[in-house]
Amino acid sequence: MNQLCYIFVICTVCCGIVLAGEMTFELPDSVKQCFHEHIEKGVKCTLEYQVITGGNYDIDVEIIGVNGQQLHKDSRKQYDSYTWTTEVTGEYKFCFSNEFSTFTHKTVYFDFQVGDEKPLHGDGKMEMPMTQMETSAQLIHNELKIIIDYQTHHRLREAQGRVFAEDLNERVQYWSVGQAVIILLVGIGQVMVLRSFFTDKRPIVVSNT
């Protein structure tokens, strides 16, 4: 029982480390939003993003280095992933831009990973073979990582599908109301036309006095 608790604690802590760079935020129209991160030299970094809702599901993305040089840029992309290794120590920033949109705001998800994942135990230099408990912890940890990736993917797909369904439902409601108004106007017009057919029009008699 104690071994199972130990494995669960290790996996929970490590999963928290992996999820530290994830964020979902609102990006208003005509706005550019940047995030900053201080990174050491020679560290491998990965930025993965996806537009969940809004307009044509597209944004501009730019990654800028320490000296202001442009490391990467995407225009009108819905999702993408970019990996690079830092050449100098300093502050890096990545920006999401919705400046080309004048009235549509976006919901953006990104996952920013800096460096390799820390080992479950020790400094990663295995001098002795892992015990059965350590092997089990490693297997559970790997499976949890896969589960988290699947959950994130399905949450994003579910959010996109929900927004699309709500938008479609709103359009169907407007169309139904428009049809009801048209049917009502046509019915009133038909009644008025039929009444005009059966209206007794009496001629006006002019008397000579």
How do residues 38-97 score in pLDDT, each as one tens digit?
Answer: 999 999 999 999 998 888 888 999 999 998 889 999 999 988 899 999 999 999 999 999
How do residues 1-28 score in pLDDT, each as one tens digit?
Answer: 433 333 333 333 333 333 347 888 999 9
What confidence score (pLDDT) does residue 11 get? Answer: 37
The tokens describing 208, both together, are: 């000579």
Query: N- to C-terminal Cα distance for the chain?
Result: 122
- CA pair distance 76, 152, nearest whole angstrom: 23
How do residues 103-156 score in pLDDT, each as one tens digit?
Answer: 888 999 999 988 877 666 655 555 567 788 878 888 888 888 889 888 888 888
DSSP letters spanning 13-82: HHHHHHGGGEEEEEE-TT-EEEEEEEE-TT-EEEEEEEEEESTTS-EEEEEE-TTS-EEEEEEEESEEEE
How do residues 169-183 score in pLDDT, each as one tens digit?
Answer: 999 999 999 999 999
pLDDT average, residue stretch 156-160 = 81
Domains, the chain: 16-117 (2.60.120.380)
The tokens describing 76, both together, are: 């009108």
pLDDT average, residue stretch 163-170 = 86
